[in-house]
């Protein structure tokens, strides 16, 4: 007998050494390391190495990884031409999905399901996002540089200006906080594709498609819209009460797994204060302070606490990203996790093929019509 669980909730579909989500107590580990410790002491590149290898890198290993990522930053001309051919009003997530797919067709190394392939893909995801962002403004993509780390290089490719140390560090921490998160929807999708022994680019493109959905990766931009509508901290309580009375969802609160505060939100709250304007930060803090008790009163026992998306919005806005690049930037982080899980899947593979609970009609005869 098989048991149907809607959304596969509670179903164990894979074994992993990449990350552990402890929803009841609000903790997250990458390969045994607390996300709070990693946010304080590590960089995104160190987390990438940790996810791919299971251990933090030595200084030499970290330098080697950074050098290999820098070498792979240049986009093939076919990819740039593909981005130029897209409508300038295309969604950036659509452009990213298309650009990564073109990369797989133009650069076979990126299709390899190994570390070389993972580097080839991960190194170019920020460049694809930035190239399309510039193209849609009538600007040419910038040539990559080898002297900037992953987060700072991404911000440089977008604007042509080196970010401040505070901006670079804020984005770097955001990226490492969101690099992996158990068997989330996009990671599960990437693992399913990898389990068929397809190529790495196909797995990443599938992950991008899943992340595009507003129930997964689209929430931070919705937080910005909500804060814009509230406008001022003095309006927060009334706006939230009105939204709940209308049955609207309060963005940035609640999580499928966490029944305590998302530990990433705790880190991002402090981080946002370093890059957001004082007025914007005050608006977010006041909104949060009113939202949690109002949500508890409206939906008792649901434990709807602040999630990663709420302060992610302030961090990405604070480093200068437009709202429609929030989800692609999430992809620039989560590509580290997708590739790590794809490599883990193929190392001990069995095709992922769950059962379906058929609830249609019983077998019945075909209605043959006799010709007169």
What residue segments make up the domains of the chain, in order of their start? Answer: 35-213+330-347, 219-318
SS3 141: coil
d(CA 62, CA 124): 18
CATH number of 35-213+330-347: 1.10.580.10
pLDDT at 256: 76
pLDDT for res 49: 98
Of 198, 201, 197, 181, nearest to 309 (Cα)? 181
**Would you say the pTM of this structure is higher than 0.85?**
yes
Q: Is the pLDDT of residue 1 over 80?
A: no
Catalytic choice (288, 309, 317, 344)? 309
Does residue 10 register a pLDDT over 80? Answer: no
How does pLDDT run across 300-323, given as a tens digit for each residue? 988 888 889 999 999 999 999 999
Give catalytic status of residue 248 as yes or no. no
- Is 45 marked active-site? no
Q: 3 exposed, middle or buried (CB, 10 Å; 0-12, 13-18, 19+)? A: exposed
| DSSP state at residue 57 | P
pLDDT tier at 218, thresholds 50, 70, 90: confident
Q: Which residues pair with 28 in a beta bridge?
A: 21
| Buried b / exposed e along 298-313 (16+ C-beta atoms within 10 A) | beeeebbbbbbbbbbb
Is pLDDT of 67 > 80? yes
Confidence band, pLDDT 50/70/90 cuts, at residue 259: confident
The catalytically annotated residue of 133, 153, 181, 255 is 255
Q: Residue 7: pLDDT above 70?
A: yes
- Least confident piece of the model among 3-7, 111-115, 331-335: 3-7
Q: Within a 13 Å sphere around the CA of 245, how many CA atoms are in the beta-carbon half?
A: 6
CATH of span 219-318: 1.10.230.10
Cα–Cα–Cα angle for 198, 339, 40, rounded to 5 degrees: 170
Question: What is the H or E stretch that residue 217 is in?
Answer: none
């Amino acid at each position: 007998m098989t048991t149907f669980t809607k959304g596969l909730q509670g179903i164990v579909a894979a074994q992993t050494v990449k990350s552990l989500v402890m929803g009841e107590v609000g903790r997250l580990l990458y390969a045994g390391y607390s996300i709070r410790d990693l946010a304080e002491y590590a960089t995104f590149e160190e987390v990438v190495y940790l996810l791919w290898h299971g251990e933090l890198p030595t200084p030499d290993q970290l330098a080697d990884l950074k050098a290999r990522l820098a070498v792979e930053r240049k986009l093939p001309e076919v990819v740039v031409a593909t981005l130029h051919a897209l409508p300038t009003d295309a969604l950036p997530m659509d452009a990213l999905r298309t650009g990564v797919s073109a990369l797989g067709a133009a650069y076979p190394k990126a299709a390899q399901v190994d570390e070389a392939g993972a580097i080839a893909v991960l190194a170019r995801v920020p460049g694809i996002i930035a190239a399309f962002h510039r193209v849609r403004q009538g600007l040419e993509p910038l040539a990559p540089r080898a002297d900037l780390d992953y987060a700072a290089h991404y911000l440089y490719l977008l604007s042509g200006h080196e970010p401040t140390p505070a901006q670079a560090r804020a984005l770097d921490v955001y990226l490492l906080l969101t690099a992996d998160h158990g068997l989330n929807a996009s990671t599960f999708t990437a693992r399913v594709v990898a389990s068929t022994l397809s190529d790495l680019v196909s797995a990443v493109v599938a992950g991008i498609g899943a992340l595009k959905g507003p129930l997964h990766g689209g929430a931070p931009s919705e937080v910005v819209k909500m804060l814009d509508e509230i406008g001022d901290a003095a309006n927060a309580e009334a706006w939230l009460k009105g939204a709940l009375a209308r049955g609207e969802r309060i963005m940035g609160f609640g999580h499928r797994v966490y029944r305590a505060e998302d530990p990433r939100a705790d880190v991002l709250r402090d981080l946002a204060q370093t890059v957001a304007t004082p007025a914007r930060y005050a608006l977010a803090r006041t909104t949060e302070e009113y939202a949690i008790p109002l949500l508890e009163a409206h939906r008792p026992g649901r434990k709807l606490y602040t999630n990663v998306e709420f302060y992610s919005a302030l961090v990405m806005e604070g480093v200068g990203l437009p709202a429609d690049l929030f989800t692609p930037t999430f992809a620039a982080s989560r590509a580290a996790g997708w590739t790590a899980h794809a490599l883990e899947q193929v190392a001990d593979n069995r095709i992922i093929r769950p059962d379906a609970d058929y609830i249609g009609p019983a077998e019945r005869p075909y209605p043959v019509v006799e010709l007169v």
